[in-house]
Amino acid sequence: MNKVESLQNKLDLNNPDYFINRELSLLEFNRRVLAQAKDKKTPLLERLFFLCIASSNMDEFFEIRVSGLKQQVAYGTTQRGLDNLSPSEQLELINQVAHELQSSQYKILNEEVLPAMANEDIHFLHHDRWNQTQSAWIKKYFNRELLPVLSPVGLDPAHPFPKVLNKSLNFIITLEGKDAFGRNSGIAIVQAPRALPRLIQLPASCTSHKYDFVFLSSIIHKHATDLFPGMTVTGSYEFRATRNSDLYVSEEEAGDLMRALEGELPSRRFAEVVRLEVTNRCPQEIVDFLMHKFNLQPFDVYAVNGPVNLNRMMAVPDMVKLPHLQFSAFTPALQKRLLRSDNIFNTIKKGDVFLHHPFQSFSPIVDFLRQAASDPDVLAIKQTLYRTGDDSTIVEALISAAHAGKEVTVVIELRARFDEEENIELANELQNAGVHVSYGVVGHKTHAKMILVIRREGRQLKRYVHLGTGNYHAKTARLYTDIGLLSSDTAITDDVQKVFQQLTALGKAGKLKKVIQAPFTLHKSMLDLIHTETKNALKGEPARIIAKMNSLVEPEIIKALYMASQAGVKIDLIIRGICCLRPGIKGVSENIQVRSIIGRFLEHSRIFYFYNGGDIKLFGSSADWMDRNFFRRIETCFPIEEKRMMKKIVKECLQNYLADNIQSWILQADGSYKKKTLSGNTAKSAQQNLLKSYTE
């Protein structure tokens, strides 16, 4: 028996105490987001933005994660995860934490953010605070913009309880009296039009402050009587239902994936309700009525002390023009190598180009495609698209290339969650322009971020690639940290071409030389690299692992890291969100430290470092260390080999983050996080250091 096997036999790697529950870990991430909203050092409008992000995160958590657990309970599933929690036990714990987080969220809004905004002369006026001039303007607004499009439904045998749209703002209104037909059930439902803004800024002619806003809900509350002539409104209460939004399409049975998804999308709007948010003013009998209609239990109800759907306040920072209340504007840097050259292919040919977003501009990727579209020597362009955003310059470049007669092939992932509808429209737009569109491989999402350009140079065909950790989305490239590689390395470009061949054709593409690919080799390769560090440590040699990612869930990887820790490998994990590994367990994970960086930008890059006996292995990847990324997605993990670039990435993306003592949260053995305290007099913020470095 070798030393590694002996070490493995010593540890009961299936002990549930060694694993943190995935869902509770995700809720802890949202707690850290809320901490940014509470932090007075965060600019005021950004604090509001973090509150909105937390609200949006919780929506998705209920739509996908909670709904999945509820389905397991309904089907009688008793299967337990590595943490030994059943679906029903997880739901019980989730309900406790989620209610706590929601209460904290509205407390921060009401007791800290809104008073601070009032001090800046930004006010959100309740209808009992409107003066005569404001009331008159709002009355006209209601009659002009709202009254024609509102469709109140009085409940009676001919008007049953309506199918309330997922996450839409609704009002349940109690009434007295009878209408012209003698009807009165005492209850009506009004859905706020989704096309109208939830927040209305009052014009300067009737403001009493620098910025005065009213909520659409306040206007409807105030004028609810106008919707029911001759009747008396005795109560008006906001509510919002969150539904199961996880689409299910049997790909094996679907002859056309796009048509199958198009047919499934409407069901997202009216699927099973998993959460009810209702204003805390709502009487219990009305809450009970709604619970009965949505088939919910008391723990599914979230009483809201403020606007229902806080996410709608995300529009405020764009409406309030006060730069001192937001993060300082910055201009992403451009590399001198790219500025000096008017031909990006010549630049790449001289050496790989490293891109670090958002600190460096996204424009070189757009230029890469634009030059490929207009270059007469370029024959073909191939690209994967997962999320692109509206009015994408990337898409414009691809269409331009197709119009110029290039062979353009795009692999679109139709099942990118919550972007399905946009991606279907994108696929149709590209096909109409003459682009060859593929939807990838049945049973696997295409999550890899790749561009391949094939160019004729003399008598040869030369390939150029872009590989990245983030989506081809210009907006998120300003908000997410990601890295990218532009390269003409023969082995890497050949590998990328083989991966595209897998995605668009049938047959085996052959062994890849440098790129590591899921679902085939990525999991085994990561395990092998971890085991190498373990073996080296057991021999008394230096061993080191640093890994930066969004989520760590996959159990075999976690177990391998535990073994490496016990062998003496020093392991630092920089994980923004979910982490199921439990650090600090005596005899198991003392050598592992996990930190999460929460700051201005969403940490999104995946970077893996292995000391490897001094022959350092460094990778960028589209994949997190999760089951889905290893086994159910097409992912690429690409090596960084040029020494100067390797040194730069290790310094900027790893060491810089390990030194952060401002925005760094350290995972504790009990699954909670503690913010790292400033030691000494030197404050170090990884993101601020990079902003300063690149802007200077």
Among all chains, which residue has been given the structure tokens 């800046």?
120
Sequence-ordered alpha helix ranges (H) in 278-419? 284-294, 316-319, 336-339, 344-350, 363-374, 393-403
Count of residues in the chain: 696
Closest to 662 in 3D by CA, of 688, 638, 680, 683 = 683
State which amino acid sits at residue 429.
E
Local structure of 402: helix, strand or coil: helix
Q: Which residues contact 685 (CB under 8 A, 6 or more apart)?
A: 599, 660, 662, 663
CA distance 388 to 371: 19
Local structure of 37: helix, strand or coil: helix
Q: What's CA 374's distance to the chain center, in Å?
A: 34
Local structure of 605: helix, strand or coil: coil
Does the active-site annotation cover 447? yes
Strand-pair partners of 215? 199
Catalytic residue among 444, 447, 466, 523: 447
Sign of CA dihedral 51, 57, 60, 64: negative
Local structure of 362: helix, strand or coil: coil
Q: What's CA 527's distance to the chain center, in Å?
A: 27
CA distance 637 to 367: 24
Query: Exposure pattern of 611-631 as b/e (b: 16+ CB <10 Å)?
Result: bbeeebbbbbbbbbbbebbbe
Q: Which residues contact 499 (CB under 8 A, 6 or more apart)?
A: 448, 450, 509, 512, 515, 517, 634, 636
SS3 content of the chain, % helix, strand, coil (to 5): 40, 20, 35
Long-range Cβ contacts of 321-327 (<8 Å, 24+ apart): 322/45, 322/120, 322/122, 324/43, 325/43, 325/44, 325/45, 325/46, 325/120, 326/43, 326/45, 326/46, 327/43, 327/46, 327/600
258 near 439, Cβ under 8 Å?
Answer: yes
Q: Which residues contact 614 (CB under 8 A, 6 or more apart)?
A: 542
Instruction: Give catalytic residue positions.
Output: 447
